[in-house]
């Protein structure tokens, strides 16, 4: 039996990418301990993993004025401060009952240092674009609104570096294998990554607490809209969407997140509006998916073979969106300026222009999953075996 400890920040998409792997490991009889924060602990508990809930939070990156590097740096710096308080107890707990290996999200910051101080092998988990000597996702976000020269961001980076070294100088990252939860075909310059990176792609997700859904019986084409940030930085967006598609040939399934009780909207006859739906269930029947282009959402769409209207807000989402449009799997719009007519045009083009469906059929769909949870569990087992083979005094 492999005993794996997961260290993942309390960000829904980061946690969500790992859950199929956690379920697979538990199904194989392995022990999984999962460290995260209150915002995502419930997601983890549903898998059956031993959930270690620490007081870790990451504040929102988007406010009424949209995204700002200052706001992001402040949120991430707060996460570092939380980790500084929680790290001694975390290390002590894992030292008293050591796992065979540490599986850590690249954004957990101290994951590699925790593995080093415990003398354990580690496995890096990457939910988005991977990084190597030739590809820096952060640098490529600069044209999309990330200010790499921001003073507050530099202070956060110093704080994070100092905390990691206070726990233990991390190992050379080149020696740590990485599992990337996107296919190599979607990775920026995927050909530049060596065999230490395994691109396993996404997995379908169970419905969990999502609203059960069945498609319209008359075969009306379905537009799935999931833009939870839109009402934060553009309060009129949900009304705009309703105006755009009321009494059209679309059946619109609109997930509005926590805004469900404050929209004041009544659903037109061709609309379904709820806090959340099961993405996999809707996408199985959707003709178009409208999303902010978070990586988890894009992988759901590509896996289902559904073209995307991307309306990104953050630099990361804009980079994801740029890659999506470069590959011909969707179109992008400007959330702050798009009109009702513009939304209809974007959705309509994805249906009437055959190139989008052709791209998805040839390169994505089932091809998006390139090993998934099964392959990743095999890697965890191999790394865990290496951890068990280490002499006890090396830990």
Residue 211: is its pLDDT beyond 90? no
The model's pTM: 0.93
CA distance 283 to 302: 10
Q: What is the mean pLDDT of residues 378-389?
A: 84
What is the reported pLDDT for 347? 97
Average pLDDT, stretch 67-82?
Answer: 95
Task: Check: CB of residue 289 under 8 Å from CB of residue 297.
Answer: yes
pLDDT at residue number 386: 74
- What per-residue confidence (pLDDT) applies to 367? 87
The pLDDT, as a whole number, for residue 278 is 87
What is the arithmetic mean of pLDDT over 75-81? Answer: 95
Distance CA 60, CA 45 (A): 23
Residues in CB range of 42: below 8 A, 6 or more apart: none
User: For residue range 166-195, what is the model confidence (pLDDT) as tens digits?
Assistant: 999 877 777 799 999 999 999 999 999 999
Task: Indicate whether 394 pLDDT > 50.
Answer: no
* Spatial distance between the Cα atoms of 356 and 301, rounded to a whole number of angstroms: 12
Per-residue model confidence (pLDDT) at position 258: 73
pLDDT one-digit tens code per residue, 278-325:
888 999 999 999 999 999 999 999 999 999 999 999 999 999 999 999
Query: What digits encode the pLDDT tens for the residues 118-141?
Result: 999 999 999 999 999 999 999 999
pLDDT value of position 174: 75
| Alpha helices per DSSP H over 258-353 | 279-283, 295-304, 315-327, 340-352
How many C-beta neighbours within 10 Å does residue 82 have?
A: 18
CA distance 56 to 86: 8
**Average pLDDT along the chain:** 91
Q: Exposed, middle or buried by CB within 10 Å (0-12, 13-18, 19+), for 236?
A: exposed
The model's pLDDT over 13-38, given as tens digits with 9 standing for 90+, comes to 999 999 999 999 999 999 999 999 99
Q: What is the pLDDT of residue 233?
A: 82
Per-residue pLDDT at 372 exceeds 50: yes
Distance CA 216, CA 270 (A): 10
Q: Quick check: 127 and 296 in contact, CB under 8 A? A: yes
Name the band, by pLDDT with cuts 50, 70 and 90, for residue 60.
Answer: confident
């Amino acid at each position: 039996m492999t005993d794996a400890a997961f260290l993942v920040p309390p960000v829904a998409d980061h946690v969500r990418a790992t859950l199929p792997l956690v379920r697979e490991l538990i199904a194989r009889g392995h022990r999984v301990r999962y460290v995260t924060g209150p915002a995502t602990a419930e997601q983890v508990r549903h898998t059956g993993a031993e959930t270690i809930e620490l007081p870790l939070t990451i504040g929102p990156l988007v406010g009424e004025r949209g995204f700002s590097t200052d706001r992001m740096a402040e949120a991430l710096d707060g996460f570092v401060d939380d980790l500084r308080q929680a790290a001694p107890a975390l290390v002590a707990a894992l030292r008293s009952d050591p796992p065979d290996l540490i599986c850590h999200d690249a954004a957990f910051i101290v994951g590699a240092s925790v593995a080093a101080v415990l003398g354990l092998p580690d496995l890096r988990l990457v939910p988005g674009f991977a990084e190597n000597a030739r590809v820096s996702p952060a640098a490529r976000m600069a044209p999309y609104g990330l200010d790499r020269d921001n003073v507050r961001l530099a202070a956060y980076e110093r704080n994070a570096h100092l905390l990691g070294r206070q726990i233990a100088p991390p190992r050379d990252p080149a020696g740590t294998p990485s599992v990337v939860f996107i296919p190599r075909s979607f990775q920026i310059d995927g050909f530049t990554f060596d065999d230490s990176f395994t691109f396993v792609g996404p997995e379908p997700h169970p419905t969990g607490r999502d609203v059960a859904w069945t498609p319209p019986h008359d075969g009306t084409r379905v537009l799935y809209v999931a833009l939870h940030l839109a009402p934060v930085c553009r309060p009129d967006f949900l009304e705009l969407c309703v105006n755009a598609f009321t009494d059209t040939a679309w059946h619109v399934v609109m997930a509005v997140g926590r805004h469900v009780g404050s929209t004041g909207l009544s659903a037109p006859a061709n609309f379904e509006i709820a806090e959340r739906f099961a993405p996999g269930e809707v996408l199985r029947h959707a003709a178009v998916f409208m999303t902010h282009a978070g990586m988890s959402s894009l992988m759901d769409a590509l896996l289902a073979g559904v073209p995307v209207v991307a309306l990104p807000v953050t630099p990361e989402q804009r980079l994801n969106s740029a890659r999506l449009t470069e590959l011909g799997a969707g179109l992008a719009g400007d959330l702050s300026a798009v009109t009702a007519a513009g939304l209809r045009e974007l959705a309509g083009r994805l249906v009437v222009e055959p190139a989008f469906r052709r791209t998805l059929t040839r390169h994505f769909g089932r091809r998006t999953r390139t090993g998934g949870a099964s392959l990743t569990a095999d890697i965890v087992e191999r790394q865990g075996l290496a951890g068990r083979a280490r002499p006890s005094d090396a830990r």
